[in-house]
Amino acid sequence: SDYSQEPPRHPALLVNSKEPFNAEPHRSCLVSSYVTPVDFFYKRNHGPVPLLDHHIDKYSVSVAGLLENRKELYMKDIIKLPKYAVTATLQCAGNRRTAMSKTRKVKGVGWDISALGNAVWSGAKLADVLELVGISKHSHISPHGGKHVEFVSIDKCKEENGGPYKASIPLSHATNPEADVLLAYEMNGETLNRDHGYPLRVIVPGVIGARSVKWLDSINIIAQVCQGFFMQKDYKMFPPSVDWDNIDWSTRRPVMDFPIQSAICSLDEVNDLRPGKILIKGYAVSGGGRGIERVDVSIDNGKSWAEASKSQKDDITYISDDNERNDKWAWVLFEAEADVTDTTTHIVAKAVDIAGNIQPENVEFIWNLRGILNTSWHRVRVHIGS
């Protein structure tokens, strides 16, 4: 693979792998604004970043598969469709993997707690695009028997034996305008940059990042779920009893919605503190558009809890300042003041979503060999000095 044309990146990113480039910001970065700046948004690539700058007028997405006629969509066609701005948190299924590995080793890129970010994505709705090829809104099956919509990229990755990254979502999801699935060409009001999928990427709000295909090349209407590596041999959830010697990938479905998640970002994994007041800040987010009901924090390792305050307030400039906003696809930032004493050893956070889903107390119960969906209570250690 050729990594000689990679884009420039912010030097403060913590790099987990250089080629392909996988990096996350320091956790404290995440709570300094509701909308994550592009420079500090995690980057998760499986191969070299495609270089398309010189071909933008020629760039098109082909819509093909189970259709009467295939259609080439140029950027000018996509820009003509109604433009939507959706605030959505993108989270890698591998977020918090490093902590899962501490219990028992897992395979995958080691991520701390920052393999996610909240951005304002703008572009056309996939439901509108599909209408252009004769597939109506709210359909479960297309006129020619399509039940899934596959997204194929331009990049090349080793997991696909040098072929492109791909994924699919059900046709019913793709044609539902309320699901807000976008073909996005802007991130935080600026043209998408190369790392995040220039010129066009899919955004599937509320679903693990792996389905939001970057550098989109084609959309295929297909009868069966996508047979690509990342849908069939990766990003599936296994019980703790399954390991590499007894795994049968065909027994599981591809993960879509991510579960309830939260983490503390204003403190490191290990902290030297003095007794007194501290501010505990972090993020909470759930998949499928399920909002956050509550965030609880504890300074006595989970014996007692206090409720944190939460907000979706944009303190920069991207969106109007509205305290009552309800961005269903977006995280909430939480904050709680606490009085640590010389008996404090761990500070803990856990969240509850509007469906009453809660985070598991310990990582052991959700351990899986690929180290995905670590949503266990986030604990940070505290040493009290005087």
Sites of contact with ligand MTE (CB under 6 A): 41-46, 90, 92, 153, 155, 165, 195-196, 209-210, 212-215
Q: Judged by CB under 5 A, does residue 213 bind Mo ion?
A: no
| Closer by beta carbon to Mo ion, 107 or else 140 | 107
| Closer by beta carbon to Mo ion, 21 or else 334 | 21
| Closer by beta carbon to ligand MTE, 17 or else 28 | 17
| Closer by beta carbon to ligand MTE, 87 or else 153 | 153
Q: Judged by CB under 5 A, does residue 209 bind Mo ion?
A: yes
Residue 153 binds which one of ligand MTE, Mo ion, none, with CB within 5 to 8 A depending on kind? ligand MTE
HEC per residue, the chain: CCCCCCCCCCCCCEEEECCCCEEECCHHHHCCCCCCCHHHCCEECCCCCCCCHHHCCCCEEEEEECCCCCEEEEHHHHHHCCCEEEEEEEECCCCCHHHHHHHCCCCCCCCCCCCEEEEEEEEEEHHHHHHCCCCCCCCCCCCCCCCEEEEEECCCCHHHCCCCCEEEEEHHHHCCHHHCCEEEEEECCEECCHHHCCCCEEECCCECHHHCCCCEEEEEEECCCCCCHHHHCCCECCCCCCCCCCCCHHHCCECCECCCEEEECCCCCEEEECCEEEEEEEEEECCCCCCEEEEEEECCCCCCCEECEEECCCCCCCCCCCCCCCCCCCCEEEEEEEEECCCCCEEEEEEEECCCCECCCCHHHHCCCCCCCCCCCEEEEEEECC
Q: Judged by CB under 5 A, does residue 210 bind Mo ion?
A: yes
Instruction: Select the span of 44-52, 53-61, 177-185, 329-337 touching Mo ion (CB under 5 A).
Output: 44-52
Q: Judged by CB under 5 A, does residue 109 bind Mo ion?
A: no
Residue nearest Mo ion, Cβ-based: 92
Instruction: Select the span of 53-61, 178-186, 202-210, 221-229 touching Mo ion (CB under 5 A).
Output: 202-210
| Closer by beta carbon to ligand MTE, 230 or else 377 | 230
Binder to Mo ion among 92, 130, 263, 348 (CB under 5 A)?
92
